[in-house]
Every structure is written in structure tokens, then in C-alpha cells.
Chain A
Amino acid sequence: MLSAEIKDKYELVVGLEVHAQLLTQSKMYNSDSTEYGNMPNTNISVITLGHPGTLPKVNKKAVEFAMKMGIACESEINRTNIFARKNYFYPDLPKGYQITQDKGPICKGGKVYITLNGEEKSIAITRIHMEEDAGKSMHLAGEVDTLVDFNRAGVPLIEIVSEPDMRSSEEAYAYLAEIKRLVRYLDICDGNMEEGSLRCDANISVMLKGSDTFGKKVEVKNMNSFRNVARAIEHEFERQIQMIEAGEDIPSETRTFDATTGTTSSMRSKEDLNDYRYFPEPDLSPVLISEEWLQSVRSEMPSLPRELFKRFVNEYGLPDYDAGVLTDSKEIALYFEELCQKTKNYKAASNWMMGPVKSYLNELTLHISDFPISPAQLAELIALIDEGKVNFSVASQKIYPVMIEQNGKTPLQIAEDLNLIQESDEGSIRPIIEQVIAANSAKVEEYRAGKKGLLGMFMGQVMKQSQGKADPKVASKILTELLEN
């Protein structure tokens, strides 16, 4: 084990390459379906299989999805896009090359904002380019052969390459979480790392603190969850420091992560790296992005999480914590946003979302799109509380469950049906309180002798006698008044 003292001498440097599978119906360069989970080798055509004489054709929507990600990351959108062939031999790549972008990626530069411990930091983006996915090879135990399924071959991807700007595994985790949130807000990728629709390779190096030269970087692959990316980074940090401390050179190589042991092992060194011999793809004509096209894509951009977060904090006066929870998913954020068009009690709206709404959804593992109560109905319920007609516990425990049943009644009707409307009329509450005081004369004496804690007991009695309908504010006022005199 490394001592904290030694570890503290070094700084970690991480850059990430993220592949995101785009949510198009058809593939990047042909019209095969991208549907997941079909029988093997059914989403195929002569183009996918790389038969001679076939020609690719670019999917317009995939280009627009890549533009959207670039706009979200404040990248410069490249107006003249050409594609390139990346040549290598692998059985999951039937053509013998992958059609990707080499020089002139669709998005240049840009940044992604992450927030850690309340502090915002921007991670620079080097580039985002378009390419196609490879097929899936299976190496089953007991099989002499490798089995290949080409359903995934040609599915559109964007590759998002960051600068080596991350300094801890927490930053890398936060960066990935933000990329996932962005692609989901943009509706261009479902962002599921476990199922492989979001994939991540990490370039990791270490250097002495204060140094201005990065150490030799190691590329780590095969991490299929955010947590595993963080684990792999932690492991590499220690492994590389140990090597440096032992006076060893760190070879530039590609390593694979083993989730069961939490360690990495060498896959191949950079010396026998493929020579990809990139050259411009002659089968695809350039894709020119006009100002009009860019503007029309820009106009389709949804509000982004960072923007909504700021609005929730600055305009609605919510705490950072609330804003963070509410913007975690686009659908929750949009529901909340609609709710705030119908009520001005933003904090109450936020409490409802984070409390009763979330727990109902979590309990039944439902999505907000399945939530039976509309923002307008929820706003009515909040208004009912604000008007003093019911209190929060009656609203959340008695009315809310009925609203979920969707009986078509308004919260007010439900409250009336169940006889839940609070008595806030002094005239009807006062006799109840007088009764309670008369029935507890001994306690009244104790209270007057200084045992002020008994107030709660009296309130309890009042609520019980009124069957929970007495407005606590009014009741407490009268009660105190009568007890003090």
C-alpha cells in the first residue's frame, strides 16, 4: 500500500474519450434499423456487411445530433465536414475500415461544466466527431470460433474527446455524469453505460505536483460503469506512482480493467499499435453546414441542466441542493418548470417534488411520464394548503393518495368529500378549546405554574377533538390566549 505521504507528492491527470450511441432509427451510413435486442444478424444489409460495390449515405439526423452536442458544449461547429477511413483488420468490421472523421471533426473545442463540493469547474473538450459502431464479437468459453453479430455494425456514434483536464477520479465521475445528463437532455443517446450505449476510455498519467510536464499516459479500456471508471483511475494512480517510486519507466500502453479485482492489465503496447492509415472517404461527399441549418438545429435545443439549475436557484430562490435534484433528469425538471408556471410557492413545489412525488415514483419504479397527477392539479393542492384549507400532512396523507387514483375530482372536492377542510373560523374552534381546557384543569394549573411544554399536549387534544380539522395556526393562537389568562 502507498503511504498517504508519497501519494500526496503526485498529481493525477485524466482525459476521457466517450463514445455515445445516437438514438436514430437507422444506421449512420445506411437504412438498417438500429433497434437493440433483435435476433443476431437481422439488422443487416449489403452495406453493413461491406459487400463490394455498395455505397454509404450519411444519416442527416445523426449529423444534427452531433451538432446538438457541440452546441451544448459550446464547441465551434465545423462547416465543411468530410469523412475518413480508419483502416484496420478486425472481424467485427466487415469493410476492413471504419468510416469516421479524422481531420476536421464536426465539433472543435468546447467545454463541459462540472460541480464538485459546490464549486464549478470547466473541463475542456478537444473535439467531437461522428463515426460508426462495429459489430459485436462473442468469444464464448468452449467455442473454437468467435461468433460475430453485425446488428450493431454501422450504428451512429459520436466520440467526445476531452482535454487532460481532470485531476481526480471524482472529477472524472462528475464529468461522465454530466455528459450522460447532457445527452439525455438533448435526447440524442440514452446514456446507459451498463448496456454500452455510453462507453468510456480513460487516458491516465501521473506527475509530481507542480510539474508542468505530464507523465507518460496509459489508456484504460473496458470499464462499464461510472464507478468502474473511478475505480480504474484510482488503481492506475497508485500503480503508476509505485512504478515511479521504484524507479521504473511507465510504458505507453493500452490496459484493460478487471471489475472483479479492481485492477488493470496490459492489452498491448503502443509499439505494436495499429497504423490506421487514415485517408478521406471517397464514397461520401462533404457535408456542408449552412448558417440556416445550424440556426434551425439551435432553435430545437432544449433548456440545458446548467441553465435550469441557475433559473431554479436565481429566479425561484431554491437551495442548490433542491436545484441539483430537480435538474438531475430532464423530465423531472420540465415537470417542475411547468408546476412553477401554475404556483408561485416555489419552495413548496420543490418540497412536493422531492418528497411525495419522488417517493411515489421510486416506490413503484415509475417514470415521471407515468405520474398520474398533472402539474396543474398539484398546483391546486399546493394552493389549498396556502389558503389554509388543509395542512401539509392532511394534503400529503389523505388528499394526494386519492388524486393518484385519478378520480377526476379537484383537490378541493376531495377535501370536501372527506370532510377535511380545516376549521380556521375562530367561532367554531374556540368552543372545542374551551372544552379541552375545562376537561384538563390540573394540567392547566401546571402550565400556568411554568410547565410550558404542556402546550403540545393541549394542541394534540384540540386536534383530536376537531378530528384534525382545526387550523393549527388559529388553534394555537386561541389556546395560548386562553391558557395565559
Chain B
Amino acid sequence: MKIDNNTLKKIAHLARLEFDEAGAEKMTKDMTQILDWVEKLNEVDTEGVEPITTMSSEVNVLREDKVGEHLSHEKGLKNAPQKDSDYFRVPKVME
């Protein structure tokens, strides 16, 4: 399945990715290859097979409602590109 330019642009926007012309060409090629590879799965007859959503066969892996250990405020903010003593800071977003 060939990825067209519009699809590529849309996906790039949704993933907040930017690339130039040459990059776009390479990306188109890679994505087409990935889709072709995944398409191979269509060769398998899955009639009557329930879809699985996880690789593990476990179910009901649940947690009791108990408060555990927190990350300290300082550690939590440590890797933030921008911060102050209280908050993570990000470029202004307004809706």
C-alpha cells in the first residue's frame, strides 16, 4: 500500500513531526514498506478468531485502592526542559 503525500502530511501533523522534502520521500518509502509488511498478515485466515489486545494471557491484573510512594517534587521536575519551583512550564497554549 502506497502512502500518498496527504496521508503523510496528516500523520506528520498528528505526531508533531517536521521534515524537509528529502525526509518526506524517505518517510514515504519507509511507511509504505511497513504497511506492505503488515499487510502480509492478511494472508492468514483469521475467520472466527477473537482479537487479542495484549500479548499476555493475564486478565484482571488489578490494584487495591491504596496510596503508594510518590516521586519527590524536585525529582519530578528535574528533567523538565522548562520549570519553576512549582510548575512545569510549556509554551503558552490557549484554546
Contacts and interface: CB of A to CB of B under 8 A. Distances in A.
Interface in A253-301: 256, 267-268, 275, 277, 280-288
A341 interface: no
Interface string A103-123: 000000000000000000000
Interface in A55-97: 57-63, 82, 87, 89-91
A473 B69 CA distance: 70
B93 to A, nearest CB: 5
Interface stretch (A138-146, A194-202, A345-353): A138-146
Given A43-B70, A285-B59, A146 B53 contact: no
Given A146-B89, A148-B87, 6 more contacts: A42-B70, A58-B63, A139-B93, A143-B92, A146-B94, A268-B95
A325 interface: no
B95 A267 contact: yes
Interface in B65-95: 65-71, 73, 76-77, 82, 84, 86-95
A81 to B, nearest CB: 10
Nearest to B56: A285
Interface string B14-58: 101000000000000000000000000000000000000111101
Given A41-B86, A285-B60, A144 B70 contact: no
Interface stretch (A11-19, A24-32, A232-240): A24-32
Task: Kindly state the interface size class of chain B when it binds its partner.
Answer: 35 or more
| Binding site secondary structure of chain A | loop
B50 to A, nearest CB: 10
A382 interface: no
Contacts of B90: 91, 137, 145-146, 148
Nearest to A82: B53
Interface of B: 10, 14, 16, 53-56, 58-71, 73, 76-77, 82, 84, 86-95
B68 A31 contact: yes
B62 A287 contact: yes
A46 interface: yes
A45 B70 contact: yes
A323 interface: no
A49 interface: yes
Contact of B77 (A41, A45, A138, A280): A41
10 contacts: A31-B69, A32-B67, A41-B87, A42-B73, A57-B61, A58-B63, A62-B65, A82-B53, A139-B92, A268-B95
Given A145-B91, A145-B92, A284 B86 contact: no
A312 to B, nearest CB: 34
A329 interface: no
Contacts of B64: 60-61
A145 B73 contact: no
B31 to A, nearest CB: 15
Contacts of B91: 145-146
Contacts of B16: 89
Q: Which 10 A-B pairs have the closest CB atoms?
A: A31-B68, A280-B53, A61-B65, A147-B87, A145-B89, A60-B62, A91-B90, A148-B88, A57-B63, A40-B86
B65 A26 contact: yes
A249 B93 CA distance: 30
A1 to B, nearest CB: 31
B46 to A, nearest CB: 16
A148 B80 CA distance: 11
A129 to B, nearest CB: 16
A328 interface: no
Given A31-B68, A49-B76, A137 B60 contact: no
B55 A282 contact: yes
Contacts of B77: 41
